[in-house]
Amino acid sequence: AQSVTQLDSQVPVFEEAPVELRCNYSSSVSVYLFWYVQYPNQGLQLLLKYLSGSTLVESINGFEAEFNKSQTSFHLRKPSVHISDTAEYFCAVSEGNQGGKLIFGQGTELSVKP
Amino acid sequence: ETGVTQTPRHLVMGMTNKKSLKCEQHLGHNAMYWYKQSAKKPLELMFVYNFKEQTENNSVPSRFSPECPNSSHLFLHLHTLQPEDSALYLCASSQERSRFEAFFGQGTRLTVV
């Protein structure tokens, strides 16, 4: 069975510092990988996704994630965070037969302090 | 119009009430989903509909009854709920093929009293 583990439930960081949110998954088949972000009192928004091809994927607001098949990881990074990045971040996998059928990690609460 | 719209945003209901959650998508997708987000727990997939047909029910209690009259609308009918059913219920839609990601609504915050 698939599972997703986000290793940190909370990550406090100062503004303009770099951050890494860790995600590991387990699956016996090929997967597609996603990072979603949830701002307070909002639904989930897709941040970035890995389907195939280049293992490094980037979002429009400076986040990037690298798919590492050997380590079964898909960590999310940003070199310099802003206050507005404060949110909960969810890593998710789909088994490949339907992109909307997702297994989520527990979420990481990113708190950016001035 | 936002892509996926859920109403109401907040709902408080008693354990003997009957209520319904509504979801509408304007993205031309053919798959729709209900997810449950409880405090301190990962999001859980509840139901999947493809082309209006239910294709997955993840052992959801029968007090939750989904309905999908067409590819743009999805309902979740609620009756005789328990306090532990209090959660954020999220609707999502996608193309049914594997390479297409899900788009989520803003959710309905349900409190059962």
Give the pLDDT of residue B65: 97
**Across the interface, which of A32, A90, A101 has its CB nearest the CB of B45?**
A101
Instruction: Give tens-digit pLDDT for A23-77.
Output: 999 977 778 899 999 998 889 999 999 888 888 888 888 999 999 989 999 999 9
Give the pLDDT of residue B98: 66
Search chain B and give the residue with CA nearest A101: B45
Q: Find out whether A110 and A23 touch, Cβ atoms under 8 Å.
A: no
Contact B48 A100 (CB under 8 A): yes
Instruction: Give tens-digit pLDDT for B25-73.
Output: 999 999 999 999 998 788 999 999 999 999 989 999 999 999 999 999 9
Please report the number of interchain residue pairs, chain A to chain B, with beta-carbon separation below 8 angstroms. Answer: 71
